[in-house]
A and B are shown apart, each in its own frame.
Chain A
């Protein structure tokens, strides 16, 4: 469903991604793990069109997304849950969710989708009219996921959903991710918390210094000492 070949990306002169190739199959959860600064967020941004690719191809459902601006990638059915949540702080929970359904294909059904999101995250319904900036970190994370679901994506890009959250909340978030996946949405999960990521994903890629260093089923990566050593630089 998502197929990335030899992707490269730069920040000015600094190359952040080198020849990244990976795929996400229909209905799968795939995770990208790696130390911070490895280029995981850049990869997500490049897929979403937020950051330009400087080489390689991103193909989604047979159509080429590589050169598309972010707002058109969205309409193809890819939604992002960015690192650090980045909810719109001065808009209420309700407005943030409605904004998620901005793309043409999602507007008509946005009330129904919203009900489903509230079912998934009942706490959002309780905070419906509060500005997103006043929510707790965990609630913001739920809102960020809910906002992405409002776009009715077929592929969800999840960037560091556990960052800065209490372990209980992380459990809740990961449970939700599995529910979402069970409903047929494919997930590309970027995570620093290697253990957790590998526990929900089918397959994983190890990204180090902008390159894919390993690709294997989650279980195998989990048992590998290489991953540990690479991440800790031993």
Chain B
């Protein structure tokens, strides 16, 4: 029962990983930019939620009203600059690595390197949980799962049903021809990056809801999130969702059966194996489709 409970909780918690990974995956797949700043934006989202909720007493979920536009704008501005400077995929990795370090350190300077956590008063969701079939699910985890399913599922549908969504997929498949049909690469770039920034805000908020924050957390996400991106297939949204849930389950089960510190080992080994054996991801033949 413990393992089942752990596995299911893991699946639900995996929603958060999927949400974190979705933005990274789509910017990589569509824009060919490996944007490590994304981790910094999630971190900023988490700290902003913490700050707004604790000092102004805003409900954590409502902080999205501020963080979503802010991070949308920040990510879009970065993408606009990358586009202007014609940054290559590898350079984007280097530049964003540098900027991520800047963000993490700046967060550390602003909020200190100590652990920060929303108080119970500011965060009414933390302690609540839902029980069913003898299993208990914490409310924040459920929220993360629901957000991931709704946002990623919604994005998946939008990619198929709207003019903009189809334009984005066309752009990922053949840039030159997409342009010949009226698709402005700069507009697409800003839009995709902005949307990724918005998901970073949501992911940050959900993380702050159930975890204590410290700046170095951004680096701890690396392994899990890259595992999800690569397992799911770069740029493949539904793959990312499934991979997120899978990774969540694996992590939780490994923690229960082996030890918490075995989790990164298992995850990173998985990444290496997938990169070597199926670089296109587990589910897809690759690419935003």
A adjacent to B, CB under 8 Å: yes
Binding site for B on A (CB under 8 A): 45, 48-50, 69-71, 73-75, 79-80, 82, 86, 88-91, 95, 98-104, 107, 147, 151
* A69 pairs with B179, CB closer than 8 A: yes
Query: Is B180 part of the binding interface, using a Cβ–Cβ cutoff of 8 Å?
Result: yes
Binding site for A on B (CB under 8 A): 160, 163, 166-167, 169-170, 173-174, 176-185, 287, 289
By a CB distance below 8 angstroms, the chain A residues around B178 are 88, 99
- Which of B160, B181, B287 counts the most A-chain CB atoms under 10 A from its CB? B181
Q: Please report the C-alpha to C-alpha distance between residue A79 and residue B180 in the assembled complex, in whole angstroms.
A: 7
* A49 pairs with B181, CB closer than 8 A: no
* A91 pairs with B166, CB closer than 8 A: yes
* B182 pairs with A86, CB closer than 8 A: no
* A82 pairs with B169, CB closer than 8 A: no
Q: Please report the C-alpha to C-alpha distance between residue A100 and residue B181 in the assembled complex, in whole angstroms.
A: 6
Can you list 5 A-B pairs with a CB-CB distance of less than 8 A? A69-B179, A70-B179, A70-B180, A71-B181, A74-B180
* A73 pairs with B169, CB closer than 8 A: no
- Chain B residue, CB-CB nearest to A75: B182
By a CB distance below 8 angstroms, the chain A residues around B184 are 69, 71
Q: Please report the C-alpha to C-alpha distance between residue A151 and residue B185 in the assembled complex, in whole angstroms.
A: 18
By a CB distance below 8 angstroms, the chain A residues around B177 are 50, 80, 82, 86, 88
* B174 pairs with A103, CB closer than 8 A: no
For A98, give its contact among B163, B176, B182, B287 (CB under 8 Å): B163
By a CB distance below 8 angstroms, the chain A residues around B167 are 99, 102
* A80 pairs with B169, CB closer than 8 A: no
* A102 pairs with B181, CB closer than 8 A: yes
* A103 pairs with B173, CB closer than 8 A: no
Q: Please report the C-alpha to C-alpha distance between residue A221 and residue B92 in the assembled complex, in whole angstroms.
A: 53
- Chain A residue, CB-CB nearest to B177: A86
For A88, give its contact among B170, B179, B180 (CB under 8 Å): B170
By a CB distance below 8 angstroms, the chain B residues around A48 are 180
Cβ distance A182 to chain B, nearest Cβ, rounded Å: 24
* B160 pairs with A102, CB closer than 8 A: no
A103/B182 contact (C-beta < 8 A), A90-B169, A91-B166, A98-B166 known: yes
By a CB distance below 8 angstroms, the chain A residues around B180 are 48-50, 70-71, 73-74, 79-80, 82
* A102 pairs with B183, CB closer than 8 A: yes
Cβ distance B149 to chain A, nearest Cβ, rounded Å: 23
Q: Please report the C-alpha to C-alpha distance between residue A104 and residue B182 in the assembled complex, in whole angstroms.
A: 9
* A89 pairs with B176, CB closer than 8 A: no
Known: A45-B176, A82-B177, A102-B181. 6 other contacts (CB 8 A): A89-B173, A90-B169, A90-B287, A91-B169, A104-B182, A147-B181
Cβ distance A44 to chain B, nearest Cβ, rounded Å: 10
By a CB distance below 8 angstroms, the chain B residues around A80 are 177, 180
Cβ distance A188 to chain B, nearest Cβ, rounded Å: 14
* B182 pairs with A102, CB closer than 8 A: yes
A71/B179 contact (C-beta < 8 A), A88-B169, A88-B173, A99-B170 known: yes
A91/B173 contact (C-beta < 8 A), A102-B163, A107-B163 known: yes
By a CB distance below 8 angstroms, the chain A residues around B176 are 45, 50, 70
